Amino acid sequence: MKSVIQRVSQASVTIDNVVVGEIQKGFMILLGITHTDTEKDVKWMVDKITGLRVFEDENGKMNLSLEDVGGELLIVSQFTLYGDARKGRRPSFIDAARPEKAIPLYEKFVEMAREKGVKVATGEFGADMKVSLINDGPVTLIVDSPEK
């Protein structure tokens, strides 16, 4: 499992000119799922992201987590995170999980984040989405689940 996490002051996702999800302070997450991912990877990733200490404390140090600041999540499925562009000019997406594997894990990710008490907004799996955000910092991290 792979995620690109951006600390945002606001973010939204639009489908067919309709805003389907939006958040204020928190993380906009692009989430990629591969063939070998399991619910164990989902749990690890949700715990990692909600516990990341990248929000500023009273001294201006990145020392507070999403949970500490009452932050929100905008979670967008992103199979292209598993694109391999090392050869040729057209990326291969062979490492991205097929929808029948990816959708249940994506939905489990959303469910587990909500169970932690985090406000969660989402895009729509497989849709043509327009994502807007104001990156706060900017702070952007790439997080991969542990090797199996």
Residue 78 annotated among the catalytic residues of the structure: yes
CB atoms within 10 A of CB 87: 8
Residue 42, domain extent? 2-144
Using DSSP, state whether 68 is helix, strand or coil: helix
Total-model pTM: 0.94
What pLDDT is stored for residue 148 in this prediction?
65
CA 77/CA 79 separation, integer angstroms: 7
Measure CA 133 to chain center: 13
CATH number of the domain within which 96 lies: 3.50.80.10
Domains held by the chain: number: 1
Catalytic: which of 50, 79, 109, 122? Answer: 79
Catalytic: which of 6, 34, 50, 78? Answer: 78
One digit per residue, pLDDT tens: the chain, 148 residues? 999 999 999 999 999 999 999 999 999 999 999 999 999 999 999 999 999 999 999 999 999 999 999 999 999 999 999 999 999 999 999 999 999 999 999 999 999 999 999 999 999 988 999 999 999 999 999 999 997 6
CA 78/CA 4 separation, integer angstroms: 9
